[in-house]
Structure 1
Amino acid sequence: MTIRTWKNRAGQASRSIAGLAIAFSLVLLSDGLPAALAQDAPGEEIIVAQNGVFGGFNPFAPLQRLFGGGRERKPAKKQPSRTRKPQVARPAGTPPRFEIMAKDPDAGLILVVGDRMARGVADGLKFTLADKPQIRVEAVSEDKAGFAGDTAPDWAAQVLSKIRGADVKAVVVMIGQQDIGKTFPGEPPVEFMTAEWLDTYRKKVDALVRVVRQERKPIVWAGLPPTNQELLNGDFTQLNSIFQSAAEDRRVRYVDIWDIFLADDGSYSSYGPDVDGKNAKLRANNRIDFTWAGYRKVAFFVERELSRLLGGYGGLAFEGVEDDPNFIVLTGRTTSPETLLLGGEEEARMDKDSAAYGLFVAGKPLPPVPGRVDDPRMPVGGASALGDAVPSGS
């Protein structure tokens, strides 16, 4: 390599280094350019559109990325993650939230006695009677209990304590589902659905009915519904016959819901018309219990009987109960003291001198008509006169 060639290359390198130095200086100076412009015009607001450090096209962007510089970008704030609460599915048969009108201090009480089905019917009655301040509903229930079993509650004692401690107007009973397959205690235990078991069960039912009737309270007993299991249907039918016989003997109102929850062809169906007439799912997934729509439907038919018994939930709690020699009604419906019906005319007074008054009021016989067959008097002239009175041709 010649000395001249070496000098030429050295000059080119020095010029390149000088150019890079100038470019780097311009980059550093450009960072303070907007501030300097702002200082030259202290009374005016200068808005500089920026894209990174420079606004618009930036010829020095590659060098700036190579050597660094410019404003540091603040890290974006992390938005706190919102966690949604998992929606818990409402169990079948659980009522939705609804408002109940404030009840009167002396509101009558309807007791609903039994197992899980009774509690569902109580919720349905609360919903139906939510806008009636003169009546309230209370459940006396144990979900897994019935009449049979070693730990069966004393339903008669529980109901009696409630009746004597509150103004109970009526008692509603729905029970029996939890008695399937259970024995009655004994040595040996009384096996399910034997003759002795049925007799013991009937006595338990009669004991509950007797306690309520001795307290002069009416009873509405709701029967068990059909299922899709043939054997279970047979057991439920047997229990329903016991409930129905108690209703016939004790003047208990029995509500038969069996056909209500069957399809048109008589087969089982989980769906059917609800209280509004719309097709809805009425039975739970186990095809034994009810959904909320199903409990409302049972409560609808129970409430209809209660309305007949209680006279529209007024002051008379026993109107409509059949004649019972052991059932004495001491109160009656409050009516107007007037004896004249509304819209009726006043009774016309009879003339005391008239024949009708003498016959119907005074009891006097009507005056005899001469010549009539009921006239016992002999006509004037004797038999000849009587013969003259006989028509010719007789």
Structure 2
Amino acid sequence: MKRSAMVAMEPDPVEEQGLRVRAGRVLAVIAGALFIALLLNASELEREAKAKPLGTERDVWVGIWKPFATVSRSLYLDRPRAWADDALDRGGTGDVFELPPATATVAATPTAPAQLVRTPSAEEPLRIWIGGDSMMKVLGESFVREAGGSGLFDPVHEPQLESGLTRPDFFDWPRELNRLASVQPRYDVFVVMFGANDAQGIIEPNGTIHQVEGSAGWVAEYRRRVAGVMDLLRADGRLVVWVGQPVMRSDGLSDDMAMMNQVYREEAASRPWVRFVDLWPLFVDSEGDYNAYIADDDGETRLMRNPDGVHFVREGGDRAARAILKVIRAEAKVD
């Protein structure tokens, strides 16, 4: 019987070692590339960590990214990201804009002019800027559609998701609104809405932190910011429409929104150029409670709110937009 011999192929030690070396080099290159990418974006990672709600989680992430950001800045590795942001008109200077002193404590309420904002025409429509936090996304889209159809209004919609007045280190609304207040051609009307993201810790300019929203110190600092924004938007012939937050599904969040709405209402009352629009009555049921389904102007029950219990769906946005537009039309004496 013929036996077939099989010769086992032994691995070549030199080739095997070469493969390991090449694999090691690949891993080293990948690790190096990831480390460089981390350094290039370290300042942004640190900024995002600082923008988190005040507390332990924020402190931990700031502690993780701060050393990388320090190295990145010392080696100027943060410059490419900064140049890209500047080219795309993203981000700010890094310093929080300081609001001018509020005028809420004037001895007497200034006299309102006979007409706050001019009556528009098809040739000269009112330039309207509408923006704010995430609540303004759907609402603003509805407003642009409702207002733009007449030819008397020229709306510009610029919301910033997850933004607000408590954390200018994340997005500095006072700085942005101060810039917008002086652009040419000028805006005749500003429609602003904040609060949905503001129920978190707030820091005074002197560094004092008020962790609990609704505390005396928190309300005082928040009121200063609201008053300051209202004041910096003031101009002859300009109307500022400050939109209040609606009722929320969460009782706790609703309480926070009601507290902030009170601040908006009180500060607007002492400023003739500001009109406060209260959305709360438009989105409660017959018992005065939150309900995602509300009867519209025709008496038809429709879905108004997102499943998250906070944001609007299209019908809700349309309902709120009509209420805002009604105020503007009245002030501009548009039939």
Query: What range describes the TM-score normalised by the shorter chain of this pair?
Result: 0.5 to 0.7
What secondary structure, in the 3-state scheme, does the structure 2 residue paired with 1:226 have? coil
Q: Which of these residues, 242, 247, 266, is aligned with residue 288 of structure 2?
A: 266
Write the mapping of 1:164-313 to structure 2, written as runs, cut at 5 A: 164=182, 165-184=184-203, 187-193=207-213, 194-251=215-272, 252-312=274-334
1:381 corresponds to which residue?
Answer: none
Query: Runs of 5+ in structure 1 lacking a partner?
Result: 1-102, 314-394
Q: Is the 8 A contact 1:220 1:253 kept in 2?
A: yes
Query: Runs of 5+ in structure 2 lacking a partner?
Result: 1-120
User: Which structure is higher in helix share?
Assistant: 2
- Per-residue deviation at 1:188? 4.9
- Tell me the distance in 2 between the aligned counterparts of 1:106 and 1:219: 19
One-letter identity of the residue aligned with 1:175: F
- Per-residue deviation at 1:106? 4.6
One-letter identity of the residue aligned with 2:231: R
Q: Is the 8 A contact 1:172 1:221 kept in 2?
A: yes
- Tell me the distance in 1 between the aligned counterparts of 2:203 and 2:124: 40
Write the mapping of 1:75-224 to structure 2, written as runs, cut at 5 A: 106-149=124-167, 151-164=169-182, 165-184=184-203, 187-193=207-213, 194-224=215-245
- Tell me the distance in 1 between the aligned counterparts of 2:324 and 2:178: 21
- Tell me the distance in 2 between the aligned counterparts of 1:162 and 1:277: 39
- Per-residue deviation at 1:266? 1.8
- Per-residue deviation at 1:152? 4.1
**Distance change >3 Å, CA 188–CA 200, structure 1 → 2:** closer
Q: Is the 8 A contact 2:193 2:244 kept in 1?
A: yes
Write the mapping of 1:9-24 to structure 2, written as runs, cut at 5 A: none
- Tell me the distance in 1 between the aligned counterparts of 2:124 and 2:256: 41
What secondary structure, in the 3-state scheme, does the structure 1 residue paired with 2:233 have? helix
- Tell me the distance in 2 between the aligned counterparts of 1:300 and 1:147: 25
Q: Is the 8 A contact 1:108 1:167 kept in 2?
A: no
Aligned residues with identical type, % of pairs: 20
One-letter identity of the residue aligned with 2:212: F
**Distance change >3 Å, CA 161–CA 105, structure 1 → 2:** farther
- Tell me the distance in 2 between the aligned counterparts of 1:215 and 1:143: 30
One-letter identity of the residue aligned with 1:291: V
Summarize deviations over 1:50-105 as a string: whole Å, max 9, x none: xxxxxxxxxxxxxxxxxxxxxxxxxxxxxxxxxxxxxxxxxxxxxxxxxxxxx967
- Tell me the distance in 2 between the aligned counterparts of 1:204 and 1:216: 23
Which fold has the larger relative contact order, with Cα–Cα distance below 8 Å and residues 6 or more apart in sequence?
A: 2
- Tell me the distance in 2 between the aligned counterparts of 1:192 and 1:214: 34
One-letter identity of the residue aligned with 1:113: G
**Distance change >3 Å, CA 137–CA 275, structure 1 → 2:** farther
- Per-residue deviation at 1:274? 2.8
- Tell me the distance in 1 between the aligned counterparts of 2:306 and 2:231: 33
Q: Is the 8 A contact 1:112 1:119 kept in 2?
A: no
- Per-residue deviation at 1:145? 0.5
- Tell me the distance in 1 between the aligned counterparts of 2:207 and 2:176: 27
Shifted more, 131-140 versus 156-165: the winner is 156-165
Q: Is the 8 A contact 1:227 1:288 kept in 2?
A: yes
- Tell me the distance in 2 between the aligned counterparts of 1:300 and 1:171: 16
- Tell me the distance in 2 between the aligned counterparts of 1:202 and 1:248: 13
One-letter identity of the residue aligned with 2:176: Q
Q: Is the 8 A contact 2:129 2:158 kept in 1?
A: yes
- Tell me the distance in 1 between the aligned counterparts of 2:255 and 2:235: 32
- Tell me the distance in 2 between the aligned counterparts of 1:299 and 1:131: 13
Q: Which has the larger radius of gyration?
A: 1
What secondary structure, in the 3-state scheme, does the structure 2 residue paired with 1:179 have? coil
**Distance change >3 Å, CA 308–CA 260, structure 1 → 2:** same
Summarize deviations over 1:336-375 as a string: whole Å, max 9, x none: xxxxxxxxxxxxxxxxxxxxxxxxxxxxxxxxxxxxxxxx
What secondary structure, in the 3-state scheme, does the structure 1 residue paired with 2:234 have? helix
One-letter identity of the residue aligned with 1:139: H
Q: Is the 8 A contact 1:275 1:300 kept in 2?
A: no
- Tell me the distance in 1 between the aligned counterparts of 2:208 and 2:329: 45
Shifted more, 277-286 versus 177-186: the winner is 177-186
Summarize deviations over 1:90-133 as a string: whole Å, max 9, x none: xxxxxxxxxxxxx9675331111311112322211111123222
Q: Is the 8 A contact 1:110 1:172 kept in 2?
A: yes
